[in-house]
Chain A
């Protein structure tokens, strides 16, 4: 640990050279909301849930390098309000029907929603048409819940070396696709043991043949909020699987 520090909501946060503001905060046991960040991957900076104010200016904490003397505001009413709006944007963009989702209770989108007090999606639902892909023997893809964090894309390319997923389209039509001529997961070499099968923060990539083995109500984020799990997100953490 170095003796360099910055301030986050009146707390002194030490940091090591090369760490981002968010990594340093998580390392110090201070939770910063996030969805596209994963300790084992390079920061992505797309979900914007980790937005903070640094020296009075909005910044993305997962991609901003830590520096001595920064004044970081995170849990202010203004920033929490923006994060709630971002969550609501993600909720209306997809089709999120939590009561029937196998990921409920393990889902970071849902967990952050509860933690930040998002009681409704607020905006008019967009209702995208995203057919599921049930072609693979072991894995179901329910694209309705995809938040485009690209973690599966990154895991499949960088860890599994398979390049199973990529993105297509732009703006609101942007969507996850499977890299096969048929577009079907069954026609790739994707396997349940792939890293890409374990990183989805929401309920898109789900194992088949095991439903609700842990009852809803007794799942990870049912018992304790995401911030209570802060140790699991530390840059050094050996990450638990995201699967139920």
Chain B
């Protein structure tokens, strides 16, 4: 099984690395920060199947030797705290948690729910751990990774809610059962949070390998212009790619599936995404802190009708720097919605360009008016257009 939280890391390897790392105490953390726009599957799992998720955490504890687990719950899901605590209390009573679980001496495991700080970046596993330790949610330098130096510098497994639920099912029904779903490279099923322009938005579970087209048909999407898969940082595809498959080897996804029909303006969709990243950047590293705002400003310039082809090239350049130099996944991928749609939906941008050549963001000649006033000049050489012609 590969992780369902986005990065797709092999869960077994992660658990094994944690088990083999030297440490006093080991921790299992369930990542329920669910901050990606367009996703709500973890909320549904925690509402409808909390036992399955806790069971997965307990299995992870059994395998890794962890004695303490935390559920890092998104701030907006505060209303789930009491129901989850009630389930935990029942599990404690049933000896599914606590000391000597199910009579196995030495198998001690406790779970606590911790409320998140309400920032998207706290879903990144090392920022999550910082936040859990009571610090600012800023991603750590890696290496070392959480499996060796995680919570309180101890070996720690961080897994997505859905990963843990699936792990519980694998423990009960076996690996072969799990492998009977999905493709050769992507075992099992994937829960999709479907939203946007369709008749039946909501939670859908498919075996890996399902085509985008089938999903669109089954949720009643019509006249679809684009689908944004795996959130703003994921991939945006148009109708010519609807036969592609949801799978690690084709279109990987953490679960967000946003549908935009032909009435939508893709440029505005992307502009929203860029604003989201500029707002959620934690501000730690230069490329993301400044780069996301520069991208946002460029989108504004284009929206205001001052954009040119030169600005489009600038977007690519900024994206390259962010992709290679940013500190964490947020900065690496923040330019994705822009570059994907620039490739596939270019008319949405070009329609707005003032000219396809360079165009300054402001009126140069007007900017010179104060200087003209001060120097008491108003001859043709003191005006930008004519000065340029004379040159």
Contacts and interface: CB of A to CB of B under 8 A. Distances in A.
Interface of A: 43, 45-49, 51, 58, 60, 63-65, 82, 85-86, 89-90, 92-93, 123-124, 126, 147-148, 167, 169-174
Given A170-B283, A173-B283, A174-B283, A89 B141 contact: no
Nearest to B140: A45
B325 A48 contact: yes
A86 B327 contact: no
20 contacts: A47-B286, A48-B286, A48-B325, A48-B326, A49-B286, A51-B325, A63-B141, A65-B143, A82-B320, A90-B290, A123-B294, A124-B294, A124-B297, A147-B286, A167-B136, A170-B119, A170-B280, A170-B283, A171-B282, A174-B289
A46 B286 contact: yes
Contacts of A65: 143
A43 B279 CA distance: 27
Which of B285, B290, B320 has the most chain A CB atoms closer than 10 A to its own CB? B290
A47 B325 CA distance: 9
Contact of A58 (B281, B291, B317, B325): B325
Nearest to B280: A171
B148 to A, nearest CB: 13
B289 A172 contact: yes
Interface of B: 119, 121, 136, 141, 143, 278-287, 289-294, 297, 317-318, 320-321, 324-327, 361
Contact of A46 (B136, B285, B294): B285
Closest 4 CB pairs of A and B: A174-B283, A89-B290, A58-B324, A171-B281
Nearest to A58: B324
Given A171-B278, A171-B280, A89 B291 contact: yes
Contact of A90 (B286, B292, B293): B286
A58 B328 CA distance: 12
Q: Is the interface of B mostly helix, strand, loop or mixed?
A: helix
B320 to A, nearest CB: 7
B287 A86 contact: yes
A65 B141 CA distance: 11
A170 B282 contact: yes
Contacts of A58: 324-325
A171 B285 contact: no
A174 to B, nearest CB: 3
Given A45-B327, A51-B325, A85-B321, A171 B289 contact: yes
A171 B293 contact: yes
Which of B297, B321, B327 has the most chain A CB atoms closer than 10 A to its own CB? B321
A171 B279 contact: yes
A2 B38 CA distance: 52
A145 B361 CA distance: 25
Contacts of B141: 43, 45, 60, 63
Nearest to B144: A65
Given A89-B291, A170-B282, A172-B278, A46 B327 contact: yes
B355 to A, nearest CB: 18
A46 B291 CA distance: 14
A169 B317 contact: no
Contact of A48 (B136, B279, B287): B287
A180 B21 CA distance: 42
A219 B136 CA distance: 38
Given A63-B141, A172-B278, A93 B283 contact: no
B290 A172 contact: yes
A32 to B, nearest CB: 14
